[in-house]
Structure 1
């Protein structure tokens, strides 16, 4: 099995710059996060080896269903399912995307990626950038956004949770911004601010109080958007 490794340690100057940027903006990106030998097999794992469950919001509930389960619906049932999802999305509620929670039965390479994110090298870097040394661990899931998939505007800071900082490890090579799948940031009142294109082998880190969305994948996109996402927690 391919061994996953983080790229050489950031210099003190680079760490200081990232810390200042995060303090000012609440979001930073670390490019070339994993070694080339690590990132390419991991990207193949997500695009070729994983079974994803479709996560969506319907009837005011978070729900999920496999491709097989959705395929078993008749045409009318499938039409009503997606109409319900899109009706809520039009009101600014909901999501539709593929996810695979990292667990014991996951491919070894995916489990190794989460172990690496929870390793001392990564955690110490995140603690330094955020200036929060109370961080203890991160959870994670693989995500897949196909044509039409989306995540509407929201914040990740939920009552009773210990989430502090969200992260997105981009695993879609040669992505074009016109294909959608942008990590879009907003002001509290809904005014759009910065948008971040999926960049292969970049780790995007942002405060859970930041309002954000993932824009819908365009119908002409030739491929899906893959990433590993989760939250650093205390």
Structure 2
């Protein structure tokens, strides 16, 4: 059977952001922009539905300084004692520096490898790599060398987090990072904020993961995702990645 590719036209940017160039001065000054209500409906709800029904999620964390991935289904099927042991071990390592614990669905890899992926997710990945979105990002950032976008979905359950880092990776062409939040009804008290840090380690700005809000920011830039509270009433869903240059 021939694989059907989702159309980039499935998604559209809210007309309120039609003049992307007008946001350039804000981006230049702060190195980031926060764009609420970014996608036209029903795009964000379609993405939520696709993420909630997708298989292939992995728990991604670190052990002894190296990345450790294992199927999220394995963790969910484990007994409570085993789950708590993993959380305690991760939290202990997180005290000493860079560390993370969250679930990931690597959309870019799945699409490029021809693996099964929900039509809505493939369509969104291809739309991110269309002239529409890349042109939008170029106009806001002033970077005319943006060539392609990667994408992964992330799901932060209670206790999950991403410690301070700046996304810099020499030779990887990372120019911008983006986060599209897909958690309806999220409350600030549930944690999971995207927080930016100043040189004194104070939080200079933080964003609650409001549904259908896009955060776009310059790389490198110190930031983190604060731990999702144990009492959070949902998981923090997003699609995130880097906008890159191949030059």
Which TM-score applies when normalising by structure 2? 0.86
SS of the residue 2:238 aligns to: strand
Find the partner of 1:21 among 18, 26, 29. Answer: 26
Quote the Cα distance in structure 2 between the aligned partners of 1:42 and 1:194. Answer: 27
1:5–1:116: 8 Å Cα contact kept in structure 2? yes
Contact preservation (8 Å) 2:87, 2:159: no
**Which one of 95, 101, 105 corresponds to residue 106 of structure 2?**
101
Distance 1:7 1:72 in 2: 39
Q: 2:178 aligns with which of 167, 171, 178?
A: 167
Matches within 5 A, 1:35-114: 35-70=40-75, 80-102=85-107, 103-104=110-111, 105-114=116-125
How many Å apart are 1:71 and its aligned residue? 5.9
Secondary structure of 1:109 counterpart: helix
**What is the root-mean-square deviation of aligned Cα atoms in Å?**
2.1
Change (3 A) 1:40 1:152: same
Q: Is the 8 A contact 1:184 1:194 kept in 2?
A: yes
Query: What is the aligned residue count?
Result: 232
Q: What does residue 3 of structure 2 align with?
A: none
1:30 lines up with 2:35 in the alignment: yes
Tell me how far 1:114 sits from its aligned partner: 0.9
Mark the runs of 5 or more structure 2 residues left unpaired by the alignment: 1-5
Flag the 1:117–1:71 CA change in 2: closer, same or farther, 3 A: closer
Q: Identify unmatched segments of 5+ residues in structure 1.
A: none
Spell out structure 1 runs of 4+ moving beyond 4 A: 71-80
Determine helix, strand or coil for the equivalent of 1:62: strand
Q: Secondary structure at the match of 2:38?
A: coil
Contact 1:180–1:218 (CA<8 Å) still a contact in 2? yes
1:7 aligns with 2:18: no
Q: Displacement of 1:16 after TM fit?
A: 3.6
DSSP 3-state at the match of 2:98: coil
Contact residue 141 and residue 229 of structure 1 kept, 8 A: yes
1:174-197 Cα offsets, whole Å, 9 max, x none, are 211001110011013422111101
| Native 8 Å contact 1:4 1:35 kept in 2 | no
| SS at 1:114 equivalent | helix
